[in-house]
Amino acid sequence: MKYEAFFERHIESLRQEGRYRVFADLERKAGAFPQALHRHGAQARPVTVWCSNDYLGMGQHPLVIEAMHEALNRCGAGAGGTRNISGTNHTHVLLEREIADLHGKPAALLFNSGYMSNWATLSTLASRMPGCVVLSDASNHASMIEGIRHSRAETQVFAHNDPDDLARRLAALDPHRPKIVAFESVYSMDGDIAPIETFCDLADEHGAMTYLDEVHAVGLYGPRGGGIAEARGLSHRLTVIEGTLAKGFGVVGGYIAGSEALCDFVRSCASGFIFTTSVPPAIAAGALASIRHLKASGVERERHQERVATLRARLDRAGIAHLANESHIVPVMVGDAALCKTISDTLMERFGIYVQPINYPTVPRGTERLRFTPTPMHTDDDIDHLVASLATVWSELGMREAA
């Protein structure tokens, strides 16, 4: 095989489709978020970031930065090992306690990323329970899908957020088989939210476990930032709540929260937990400070919701259609990969606005979009400049009618 030619051919086909991925080379500015420097060739220009998953700006919060500096100076750079072999730092222990408390669960388990927590936990649970069937929402994140696939357990994909389809599938299964209903709370691309209570009722009725990915909700929703389940008073109904420390909490890492026995089981059996060096103590300390702060402070959450509402209202006034949902994610549909990229490039080059085009395979073909994530740090001026720039681009490209 001509290896190089094979790689190049594939890349060329991505370019043809207009979905070749170009990473924006950014330098984030602590204290100035959402402002950043964008480097392109020899140039470095200031841009306003409109697509960060650092939803609350916790990545630059003084308490988080201070906790990380302090732990770095006290403990050094790396954790020094896997959790089992010299890599459990006291900060990891404190962080797992804090996460368990956040979700009202007896225990929690820390992973190196949210991706790993989904992959490792679902693959372990589904492969180890004899005869297990996984009922997986059709819009689940790649990390859940890959974990479930790796388990080789029977999988039933139910229609997105559809309790009737889930009910039908559960009813058709052998009541004695173990079952996991796996879904998310906030879906990050459409911003819609699962009927968590109904899914829990169905799971209970059919003796199934529930596994909820709250990655796009932790820190952002609920009186203490425990997510949509906390906001709706449902945390106790879920068997497993999975989350990330990288989005609302602004650092990096992932976790599950659940019963003592379940967390101990995953701790003892999951390859993706066992055979990897634990996160640096400074990372754990930063995440710990972030969770503690957001448990006590609702200011960020309130301001966040207000900014989202303001952006939506101003888009409406400018006649720019956006997908309605109950969450903080503001998708503006474009429906074509190449056009989506053109708009994104124009916003960056002419208006200093950075929003990444979202293309297949992240979303289905034909639903390409711009996905805006306002944060508490986006000012009225930032919002006005974004909406005016979009309006200009929309009229130049003749998109008003489509909107």
Ligand X SMILES: *Cc1c(COP(=O)(O)O)cnc(C)c1O
Tell me which residues are annotated as active site.
Answer: 247
Q: Which residue has the tokens 């372990």?
A: 124
- Binding track, positions 163-182, relative to ligand X; x by CB under 6 A: --------------------
Q: Is 115 in the site for ligand X (CB under 6 A)?
A: yes
Q: How far apart are CA 344 and CA 341, in angstroms?
A: 5
Q: Which stretch binds ligand X (CB under 6 A): 96-104, 124-132, 198-206, 211-219?
A: 211-219
Query: What is the nearest approach in angstroms of ligand X to the Cβ of residue 214?
Result: 9
Locate 262 and state its tokens: 């379940």
Q: Which of 33, 54, 90 is nearest to 252 (CA)?
A: 54
Q: Is 114 in the site for ligand X (CB under 6 A)?
A: yes
Q: Site for ligand X (CB under 6 A): how many residues?
A: 14
| Interface residue with ligand X, options 96, 192, 213, 382 (CB under 6 A) | 213
Query: What is the nearest approach in angstroms of ligand X to the Cβ of residue 104?
Result: 21
Residue 312 CB partners (closer than 8 Å, separation 6+): 322, 330
What burial class does residue 26 get, using C-beta atoms within 10 Å of its C-beta: 0-12 exposed, 13-18 middle, 19+ buried?
middle
| Interface residue with ligand X, options 109, 209, 220, 246 (CB under 6 A) | 246
Instruction: Tell me whether residue 115 or residue 265 sits nearer to ligand X (CB atom).
Output: 115
Instruction: Tell me whether residue 276 or residue 342 sits nearer to ligand X (CB atom).
Output: 276
User: For the chain, give me the number of helices (H) and strands (E)?
Assistant: 14, 14
Q: How far apart are CA 349 and CA 94, in angstroms?
A: 45
| Interface residue with ligand X, options 147, 191, 250, 254 (CB under 6 A) | 254
Q: Alpha helix locations (H) across 138-277?
A: 142-151, 163-172, 196-205, 228-231, 260-269, 271-274
Instruction: Tell me whether residue 108 or residue 246 sits nearer to ligand X (CB atom).
Output: 246
Q: Which stretch binds ligand X (CB under 6 A): 112-120, 153-161, 293-301, 389-397?
A: 112-120
| Interface residue with ligand X, options 52, 121, 143, 327 (CB under 6 A) | 143
DSSP characters for 295-344? HH--HHHHHHHHHHHHHHHHHHHTT------SSS-EEEE---HHHHHHHH
Locate 285 and state its tokens: 């300390």
Q: Is 356 in the site for ligand X (CB under 6 A)?
A: no
Query: What is the nearest approach in angstroms of ligand X to the Cβ of residue 54?
Result: 11
Query: What is the nearest approach in angstroms of ligand X to the Cβ of residue 243?
Result: 8
What element of type H or E holds 118? helix 114-128
| Interface residue with ligand X, options 89, 244, 278, 327 (CB under 6 A) | 244
Query: What is the nearest approach in angstroms of ligand X to the Cβ of residue 215?
Result: 4
Q: Which stretch binds ligand X (CB under 6 A): 113-121, 129-137, 200-208, 329-337?
A: 113-121
Instruction: Tell me whether residue 373 or residue 383 sits nearer to ligand X (CB atom).
Output: 373
Beta partners for 211? Answer: 182, 240
Q: Is 55 in the site for ligand X (CB under 6 A)?
A: no
* Contacts made by residues 31-36, CB under 8 angstroms, sequence distance 24+: 31/60, 33/57, 33/59, 33/60, 33/375, 33/377, 34/375, 34/377, 34/378, 34/382, 36/354
Instruction: Tell me whether residue 102 or residue 383 sits nearer to ligand X (CB atom).
Output: 102
Query: What is the nearest approach in angstroms of ligand X to the Cβ of residue 143?
Result: 5
Q: Which stretch binds ligand X (CB under 6 A): 12-20, 26-34, 152-160, 208-216?
A: 208-216
Query: What is the nearest approach in angstroms of ligand X to the Cβ of residue 262?
Result: 19
Instruction: Tell me whether residue 118 or residue 359 sits nearer to ligand X (CB atom).
Output: 118
Q: Which of 312, 129, 102, 119 is nearest to 220 (CA)?
A: 102
Q: Is 272 in the site for ligand X (CB under 6 A)?
A: no
Q: Which residue has the tokens 């400049």?
A: 385
The three-state secondary structure class of 9 is helix
**β 107-111/254-258 pair status:** antiparallel
Query: Contact 223/191 with Cβ under 8 angstroms?
Result: no
Q: What does each C-alpha distance from 347 to 321, 356, 381, 391 come to in angstroms?
A: 17, 10, 16, 11
By beta carbon distance, the residue nearest ligand X is 114
Query: What is the nearest approach in angstroms of ligand X to the Cβ of residue 242?
Result: 7
| Interface residue with ligand X, options 113, 121, 327, 359 (CB under 6 A) | 113
The residues that touch ligand X, with contacts defined as CB under 6 A, are: 113-115, 118, 141, 143, 184, 188, 213, 215-216, 244, 246, 254
